Amino acid sequence: MKRGYLSVFLAASMWGTLGIFATYIYRYGVDSFTMVFFRVLFALIILGTYISVFLRENPFTSERLWFYAIYGFVGVFMFYTLYFYTVKISSVGFAVLLVYTAPAFSVLFGRAVFGEPLSSEKMIALIMVLVGIVLVAGNVNLASVNALALVTGIGTGLTYAVYGVLAKFGVRNEKPERVLFMTLFFGLLFLAPFSKFSVPRGALPYLLGLAFFPTFLGYVLYNYALREVEVSRASIIATVEPVVAIVLAYVLFQETLSYVQLGGAVLIVGGSVLVHLTGKESPEEGVIEEVH
């Protein structure tokens, strides 16, 4: 199996733990912005230590600060602001559903920005994934959702797709760890004015887990993958995340899995497998040096 595709799958699996950690953290009365603030703060500490001790490099860079500011604003601050606001004015199911409109945007961005071909298998996989997401999202009452929630929800999917595009640019001339560090650093600056700076002690282990698994480990794996995999293919494969989330919720919280949701999970995984089996990169992409 190509390492790039395996890295995307593992990254998506890490992101699938996000809702699990959040469920435990919410039990301590921590609000959404504060949770994300500490998630990013702890991830910066973990990542900064890793870069300094194991890579023996300075995690900070003075180059392309404008790029990292945009990246942190869109990929960290805007994405989570739109996501949590959509949850607030609609429902979690509806918000999650619209996050995964991202593959559609990624296919378009991949074509417009990187010249990635719109192959037939990619389009078939995309359709399978989008239909699967609708089924996995479960009992979403679209009639009860207002127009603003629709706009902010689609905006969540859009910013999620833009993250992948910016990551593709970021890792071309810089190590993924430093790209992630600088992006989270600027994201933290944008989040700070909206966050509280204290949390209950009982929430700290879950916040540390949230920082390590879906943040540090998930995004490092994804950024590594984007050095080898087309952004549109990576985005489609990454949609196995809700499948992982549903399975974990079933195991840990005994949440019921309907046959419809299982059917959606099969479509999502099937779309990801289709992308992998036909995963020949286009010659227009060029070769990016492997990280050692």
Q: What is the CA radius of gyration of the chain?
A: 18
Would you say 203 and 28 are in contact if contact means Cβ atoms under 8 Å apart? yes
Q: What is the pLDDT of residue 49?
A: 93
Q: Does the structure show a pLDDT above 70 at 162? A: yes
**What's the token pair of residue 277?**
């089996």
Q: What is the pLDDT of residue 91?
A: 64
Residue pLDDT, tens place only, 128-157: 878 887 787 665 555 655 678 888 888 888
Q: Where does the pLDDT of residue 289 fall: very low under 50, low under 70, confident under 90, or very high at 90 and above? A: very low
pTM, whole model, 2 decimals? 0.74
Residue pLDDT, tens place only, 54-99: 889 999 988 889 999 999 999 899 998 888 778 777 766 677 777 7
Q: Does the structure show a pLDDT above 60 at 1? A: no
**What's the token pair of residue 133?**
């997401």
Q: Amino acid identity of 198?
A: S
Q: How far apart are CA 145 and CA 150, in angstroms?
A: 7
Query: Helix (H, G, I), strand (E, B), or coil: what is residue 29?
Result: coil
Mean pLDDT across the chain: 79
Quick one: three-class SS letters along 150-218? Answer: HHHHHHHHHHHHHHHHHHHHHCCCCCHHHHHHHHHHHHHHHHHHHCCCCCCHHHHHHHHHHHHHHHHHH
Would you say 180 and 220 are in contact if contact means Cβ atoms under 8 Å apart? yes
Calculated CA dihedral for residues 209, 215, 218, 219, nearest 10 degrees: -160
**What's the token pair of residue 193?**
């004015």
Q: What is the pLDDT of residue 145?
A: 59
**What's the token pair of residue 102?**
């991202």
User: What is the mean pLDDT of the segment spanning 34-58?
Assistant: 91
Looking at per-residue confidence, does 269 or 289 come out higher? 269
Q: Amino acid identity of 253?
A: F
- Over pLDDT 90: what percentage of the chain? 20
Would you say 71 and 183 are in contact if contact means Cβ atoms under 8 Å apart? yes
- Residue 291 DSSP label: P
- Residue 240 DSSP label: G
Query: Helix (H, G, I), strand (E, B), or coil: what is residue 60?
Result: coil
